[in-house]
């Protein structure tokens, strides 16, 4: 996956009128403005920020100065008790007044208001993945890991090859989930042909990351609609975002990144 979060969100609804002739038609575009919420909250790091932007019409060059929202009122609720106001800083980023460390197992809720639109989301910070085994699968050319599943978590993995420079998978292959306490196989996408030979044994790694469980329906729905090639850029489709609010999309998600493990 290129990145869970890209700055650019452009939501389009494309309506193309039918025609029996083979002449080229000009598509008709209908633009609706959506609020976009972005936050990736990583375990064992300082809380980053929540970004609030708006979608821009198709064809309009993206500039953060045009997309950012400065008029959002927002705060966090930490573990159902602590209220943490978020203050606008720059480029649509809303940050707490004081830095604080994010701890595994914590629960964060987001409350926000813009004009008359109420926005809400909730996420749990997962634990670092507990890996019991990692190996190269010569049948599928993927790197697999056995992970002890925990409640409320899902898992995905990337392959890494430590050449100079190192190369890394662009995207997750699948998101894996299982009942708490069971062992689950988490697989990367297949390695490219040039990295499958024994010459790269010892240079291949797997990085397993844990996510809040709401990442799974997002990941599985993000490719819906043949017109949408990248939902984080184009928006739209039947994507299962984990942010609630009228004409609001985005992800407010807890993540815990595992340490890359060497695979021979």
- Consecutive 10-residue runs of the chain (264 residues): their mean pLDDT? 40 32 44 94 98 93 95 98 98 97 98 97 98 96 98 98 96 96 97 94 96 96 52 60 96 97 94
Residues 68 and 148 in one domain: no
Same domain, 225 and 249: yes
Alpha-carbon distance of 231 to 92, in angstroms, equals 20
Domain match, 229 and 187 both: no
Asked whether residue 64 falls in the same domain as residue 104, the answer is yes
Q: Are residues 170 and 219 in the same domain?
A: no
Taking the C-alpha atoms of residue 134 and residue 137, their distance in angstroms, rounded to an integer, is 10
**114 shares its domain with 219:** yes
Range of the domain at 241: 13-18+25-125+214-257
Phi and psi angles of residue 216, each rounded to the nearest 5 degrees, phi first: -65, -50
Residue 222: left (phi > 0), alpha (psi -120 to 50), or beta? alpha
For residue 4, tell me if it sits in a domain. no
Distance CA 128, CA 264 (A): 23
Q: How many domains does the chain have?
A: 2
Residues of 21-55 as b/e, b for ≥16 C-beta within 10 angstroms? eeeeeeeeeeeeebbbbbbbbbbeeebebbbbbbb
Q: Are residues 205 and 222 in the same domain?
A: no
Confidence (pLDDT) at 10: 33
Position 225 scores a pLDDT of: 40
Q: Is residue 8, in this structure, part of any structural domain at all?
A: no
| Residue 69 belongs to some domain of the structure | yes
Tell me whether residue 7 is in a domain: no
- What pLDDT is recorded for position 25? 33
**One domain, residues 95 and 148:** no
Are 255 and 197 in contact by the 8 Å Cβ rule? The answer is: no
């Amino acid at each position: 996956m290129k990145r869970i979060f890209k700055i650019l969100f452009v939501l389009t609804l494309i309506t193309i009128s039918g025609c029996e002739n083979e002449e080229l038609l000009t598509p008709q575009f209908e633009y609706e403005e959506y609020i976009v919420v972005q936050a990736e909250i990583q375990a064992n790091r300082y809380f980053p920020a929540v970004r609030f932007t708006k979608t821009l019409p198709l064809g309009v060059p993206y500039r953060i100065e045009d997309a950012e929202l400065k008029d959002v009122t927002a705060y966090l609720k930490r573990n159902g008790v602590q209220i943490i106001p978020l203050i606008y800083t720059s480029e649509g980023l809303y940050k707490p007044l004081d830095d604080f460390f994010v701890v595994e197992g914590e629960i964060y809720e987001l409350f926000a208001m813009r004009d008359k639109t109420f926005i809400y989301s909730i996420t749990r910070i997962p634990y670092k993945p507990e890996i019991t085994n990692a190996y190269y699968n010569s049948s599928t050319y993927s790197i697999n890991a056995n992970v002890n599943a925990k409640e409320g978590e899902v898992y995905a993995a990337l392959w890494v090859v430590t050449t100079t420079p190192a190369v890394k998978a662009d995207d997750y292959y699948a998101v894996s989930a299982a009942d708490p306490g069971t062992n689950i196989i988490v697989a990367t996408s297949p390695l490219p042909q040039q990295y499958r030979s024994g010459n790269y044994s010892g240079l291949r790694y797997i990085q397993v990351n844990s996510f809040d469980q709401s990442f799974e329906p997002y990941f599985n729905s993000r490719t819906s609609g043949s017109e949408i090639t990248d939902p984080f850029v184009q928006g739209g489709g039947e994507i299962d975002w984990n942010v609630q609010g009228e004409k609001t999309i985005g992800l407010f998600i807890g993540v815990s990144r595992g340490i890359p493990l060497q695979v021979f």
